Chains A and B, each alone.
Chain A
């Protein structure tokens, strides 16, 4: 029964990871940027929901408010910093966003304090299999909201004019520019959408789990890992590997103990990269 519990927990958690990873894949594919500050955007979104909870508004409304605020944070960040690293070496973007990550971490620490907090949604719990499996309703809620947002975004990217422009820019930025797409605007919108997705995920995380100013980096690493396992532009793959990662984490937590949970995630990243490197080196290729 423990394994059923861990699997269910892991899948519900993994759906959240997949949502963050989707944002990561979007900006990576379109702008060729790896955003180390991704996790900190998530945590910031979480604090928005937490503050609504503090002021007596039900934190579930954070799912709507957080992405709107985070969209503007993302666009602002793009205008200030990211637009200067878009065409440069990937390492420059990694290091610059690392700086942003440290900055955000510390600013959140000042603004919200270094305590571990959560926004209590008061949704109660569901008991399955004669109380052997305990599922908080908030987890089910957050997973379904994530799926809803992901589906909306996929449809938006397929149907709308901006979505078409984003996809065109991802395929060939230069050609898109020639055909009249304002790529600068598209980049800003992409980064904004990514931040908004992080905001949704953060709000859901603050309802379901806990948030803390320094917890950002693991979320970045998780989403990076999901994207490299699934490949860019492979949405079902992102969803599946997200759930896989969630299940892995729950089992690592259960078998190794909670203190090794984050360590296991980072080690898994190293192992996946090394595995792919050996697989590709047989064909005399390398990860690009």
Chain B
């Protein structure tokens, strides 16, 4: 326990000092934080509950649009803002910007949670691959439909309010970094708290055998919906932050980007090891470093590399980094290993 505390303290200290140690990578670090949040929330469904969703992108995109719309709509007419496009006819004062951002983030987190609760009963009744395809459909449909709505910019996109004139680019990077870092810490604490309760055991029971869990008197539907709502809350929050960070929202390329972000979150959780607490964090970090490194080498070929990466990870590495570590050092994971049995297995090999 003491060891863990030191580890958490070290990570916290690193997280707080990171933008000052690597000032050039502030935006990358903020994106990493958002990716970790997404991987952690996907893991609640895909890893612990056994419901492989492609649809968490729905909450992410929803949060993104909501945050930006609230931030603009609180002070200026939204329709005129989107109509003027890139040309700024309205300028947020610093106070307006931060107030808008705060309210926007709250809305961006709460509304997707409500949406998840509303559609949860219908969608979570599906199982296995039907659930996967249905949520894939949801994500794409949301992207296509939001691309046809005029007030949030339709096909030409939506520019989020630019950062006010306090401290320039440095301040902007630090602001968004600490915002996303706070989101990660919040998500991690929440997920860790959830995983230490009976709730996690219920989710695992649903994953292992839903019918038996139900027969044992667990109201599986209730817990599935609650799990999805928790995911939606943090996905929406991450989306809101990402919208401000990118500064431009497009319906299918940024917000409801099933081809990038929607697959990334699945991939990161699988790469790290699904069904573990640390897996998604490690997976997201490794994936982001790999992605940024290779994206610059394979400029233009990044989707080809991504496609190959997905196939390779899924086929050859489905247990992920944590699963591999667990097989290698089972003692560290609290598993009792019978030495004689192990030796016998080694001899058999």
Interface residues of A (CB under 8 A from B): 34, 81, 84-85, 90-92, 94-96, 98-107, 110, 217, 221, 224, 228, 257, 259-260, 262-263, 266-267, 269-270, 273-274, 277-278, 281, 286-288
Contacts and interface: CB of A to CB of B under 8 A. Distances in A.
B137 interface: yes
B224 to A, nearest CB: 13
A257 B155 CA distance: 14
A99 B129 contact: no
Interface of B: 52, 122-123, 125-130, 132-134, 136-138, 140-141, 144-145, 147-148, 154-155, 259, 263, 266, 270, 300-301, 303-304, 306-311, 314-315, 318
Contacts of A257: 148
Contacts of A91: 52, 128-129, 132
A263 B155 CA distance: 14
Contact of B137 (A102, A110, A269, A278): A269
B115 to A, nearest CB: 13
Given A91-B128, A260-B148, 6 more contacts: A84-B315, A85-B315, A102-B310, A263-B141, A266-B140, A270-B134
Contact of B308 (A85, A99, A259, A266): A99
Nearest to A103: B307
A195 to B, nearest CB: 17
Contacts of B306: 99, 102-103
18 contacts: A81-B311, A85-B314, A94-B132, A99-B307, A99-B311, A102-B310, A104-B307, A106-B301, A217-B140, A259-B144, A259-B155, A262-B140, A263-B144, A263-B147, A269-B134, A287-B126, A287-B130, A288-B128
A274 B137 CA distance: 12
Given A91-B128, A277-B126, A278-B125, A96 B314 contact: yes
Contacts of A104: 307
A113 to B, nearest CB: 13
A95 B264 CA distance: 11
A274 to B, nearest CB: 4
Closest 10 CB pairs of A and B: A103-B307, A99-B310, A263-B144, A266-B141, A106-B303, A102-B307, A99-B311, A259-B148, A269-B137, A90-B129
Contacts of B311: 81, 96, 99-100, 103
Contact of B128 (A90, A96, A101): A90
Given A98-B263, A277-B125, A269 B309 contact: no
